[in-house]
Amino acid sequence: MPASQKIAAADYDIEILLRSRWSPRAFDDRPITRADTLRLLEAARWAPSCANEQPWRFIVASRSDAAAFDRLLACLVEGNRKWAARANLLIILVAKLTFDRNGAPNKYAQHDVGLALGSLLLQATAMGIAGHPMAGFDAEAARVSCGIPAGFDPVSVTALGYPGDPDSLEDPYRTREMASRERLTVGQLAFSGAWGNEL
């Protein structure tokens, strides 16, 4: 099933953009232009953050810059490298760990980086671009190879590209690509007023 047709069967009426976003592993060879890359980052820039600190930073590598792309690709665990090598962009998301205003630890930094990534992924979906965030990477290798300074933490890596043919993947990735999307229900995730109270 092509990524563009893998629409979630939501229990309640939500926007089609939200139902359409998912994390494929199959990408085709079409490049993401610099202009479209900047559109994705602009969407992330306008995410909400605690005290408007905007603790997100992005290290972006396009496959057109082979040295930079290979440097980021080498930070991924082997299983992710196998399919992410076909992506057009790799982005390391980095969190600034302290508040600018007083130097205190920002315990919301990673949360806010996640909000920025969410905005980027929805913008990508609207543009027909697929994104797959990954926790499977070596943060210290990323820190060293990308020159990430102290006070900043690599949080995740996201592969982006136009959706490709699942048959281009080897198993088990092909099987995962074809599987239906699953989520816990709202009733399993949300409570009324206090933990455990059915909503």
Tally of structural domains, the chain: 1
Looking at the domain assignment, is residue 71 inside a domain? Answer: yes
Q: Which domain holds residue 107?
A: 3-168
**Whole-angstrom Cα distance, residue 67 to residue 160?**
17
179: Cβ contacts below 8 Å, ≥ 6 apart: none
Looking at the domain assignment, is residue 195 inside a domain? Answer: no
Distance of CA 4 to the CA centre of its chain: 17
pLDDT along the chain (199 residues), means of 10: 70 96 96 98 98 98 97 98 97 98 97 98 97 98 98 98 95 92 94 95
Residue 172 in contact with residue 83, Cβ under 8 Å?
no
Looking at the domain assignment, is residue 190 inside a domain? Answer: no
Note if the pTM is more than 0.85: yes
The pLDDT score that the predictor gives to residue 2 is 42
- Looking up residue 127, the CATH number of its domain turns out to be 3.40.109.10
100: Cβ contacts below 8 Å, ≥ 6 apart: 53
Looking at the domain assignment, is residue 139 inside a domain? Answer: yes
Looking at the domain assignment, is residue 145 inside a domain? Answer: yes
The pLDDT score that the predictor gives to residue 33 is 98
Instruction: Give the CA distances from residue 47 to residues 40, 107, 112, in Å, rounded to whole numbers and listed in that order.
Output: 12, 17, 8
In 66-192, alpha helices (H)? 66-73, 78-84, 109-126, 139-146, 173-178, 186-189
Enter the DSSP assignment of 166. G
The pLDDT score that the predictor gives to residue 3 is 44
Q: Using omega within 30 degrees of 0 as the cis cutoff, is the peptide bond preceding 172 cis?
A: yes
The Cβ-side half-sphere exposure at 78, using a 13 Å CA radius, reads: 0
Looking at the domain assignment, is residue 185 inside a domain? Answer: no
Looking at the domain assignment, is residue 191 inside a domain? Answer: no
Looking at the domain assignment, is residue 182 inside a domain? Answer: no
